[in-house]
Amino acid sequence: MTTDRRRIAILLAAGGSAAVLAAALAFQYLGGLAPCQLCIWQRWPHAVAVGIGVLALILTRGALGRILPLLGSLAALASAGIGVFHVGVEQKWWEGLASCTAGSISGISTDDLLNPDVAVGAVVRCDAIAWQMFGISMAGWNVILSALLAMIWIAAYRRSV
């Protein structure tokens, strides 16, 4: 197993996480879909995976160089895990965070909600599907893509040992 294949796998995995982040930001800033708290949490492991990818391309030898692709796979799996929780919240399989599910705007009167002069902040619900394709929400797509990226990271790790 060559180092070139390892580098290609790392580029694909880290580049995939960068693409997922770019897509999320495009949906947010170009598409106008504000993210909920769980959406934001799903982004952080992808950012970590991109950083790990950069390090893995620089540090090709030694114990750290060998273990970085495994850490990249754990980052991708962390995002997938948060995504699974988010999908469950969207599908009402379990309750979500109190800060972003239905009924989480307690303490705000109906008069304040209807008054455009009162700044109550934008509450983006985690239990509402803002966008989907082929019946799969963004959180669901994140689960699928993150799991695939984790497999690519594992392939890079296997080429490191």
| pLDDT recorded at residue 117 | 54
pLDDT at residue 106 above 80? no
| pLDDT recorded at residue 1 | 41
**Cβ-contact 67, 10 below 8 angstroms:** no
128: number of Cβ within 10 Å: 13
Tell me the Cα Rg of the chain.
19
The mean predicted confidence, pLDDT, of the chain is 84
pLDDT at residue 24 above 60? yes
Q: CA 126, CA 109: separation in Å to the nearest integer?
A: 21
DSSP 117: T
Greatest CA separation for the chain: 66
| pLDDT recorded at residue 20 | 96
Q: What is the mean pLDDT of residues 79-86?
A: 94
- What is the torsion angle, in degrees rounded to the nearest 10, for the CA atoms of residue 134, residue 137, residue 142 and residue 144? -40
Beta strands (DSSP E) in the chain are: 132-133, 136-137
DSSP 86: H
**Cβ-contact 150, 80 below 8 angstroms:** yes
Q: What is the mean pLDDT of residues 125-148?
A: 88
What is the topology classification, in CATH, of domain 3-158? Bromodomain-like (1.20.1550)
| pLDDT recorded at residue 130 | 84
- pLDDT tier, 42 (very low <50, low <70, confident <90, very high otherwise): very high
| pLDDT recorded at residue 65 | 78
**Cβ-contact 53, 10 below 8 angstroms:** yes
Q: CA 103, CA 96: separation in Å to the nearest integer?
A: 11
Lowest-confidence region among 59-73, 82-96, 104-118, 133-147: 104-118
pLDDT at residue 107 above 70? no
